[in-house]
Amino acid sequence: MQTRPIAIAMPYGGTLDRSTVHRVLRSTYALLSMTLLFSAAVAGAAVAFNLPAPGIILALVAYFGLLFGIHKLKNRGAAIGLVFALTGFMGWTLGPLLTRTLALPAGGHSVMLALGATGGVFLALSAYATTTRRDLSWVGGFLFAGMVVAFLAGMVAIFFQIPALALTVSAVVALLSAGLILFETQQIVNDGETNYVLATISLFVSIFNLFTGLLHLFGYGSSND
């Protein structure tokens, strides 16, 4: 008997190749796990050696430059190297934030809370996205627009030193990042994203933003205990 991949009819009228979805999911989660470990190692080294923050200009140039390179080379092996370069760089930028948080009275507890909450949210949303039949593609535009607004508000909070605005932005970014994890995972499940390199970097950035947003919130609570 001849076998073939199972195709499932989708609400928007297309078909979904389950073998492709499973392959992209496996590759995405494998690469995501490696990049998270690598980024955590770089962040740990940044804390251990008390490395300074790279600065907002360098951070933006490096981030968007590497992101552009990843999209440009998404179908080539070199893209994997750029993924590790970007995630490692983001780990470096996380180091100074961890150092400041750990210096607070209950800083270590705040870091563990943020880490545990991030892991729990990611696992719960990933499980929901891979099992639900609801089409969540319509929320993508709202989430990305919200992130742009939050980014601009964050820049205002940094340049004008407005702690209340920075705290609000952290809460909004955490919520939006959770939504993006759900949206991006379902994009893979619904065959909307078939490139595991792009899927990995999208999920990594959302997890990173979720963690940093929660870390700001828990760190603020720790500083006021």
- Mean residue pLDDT of the chain comes to 89
Residue type, 53: A
Q: What percent of the chain has pLDDT over 70?
A: 90
Concatenated DSSP letters of 165-202: HHHHHHHHHHHHHHHHHHHHHHHHHTTS---HHHHHHH
Sorting pLDDT into bands at 50, 70 and 90, what band is 206?
A: very high
The two three-digit tokens of residue 63, written as one number: 């981030």
Q: How many CA within 13 A on the CB side of residue 131? A: 6
In Å, what is the CA distance from 9 to each residue of 2, 16, 133? Answer: 21, 7, 12
Query: Residues 80-137: pLDDT tens digits?
Result: 999 999 999 999 999 999 999 999 988 999 999 999 999 999 999 999 998 888 888 8
User: Model pTM?
Assistant: 0.89
According to DSSP, residue 2 is labeled: -
Integer Cα distance of 132 and 183 in angstroms: 12
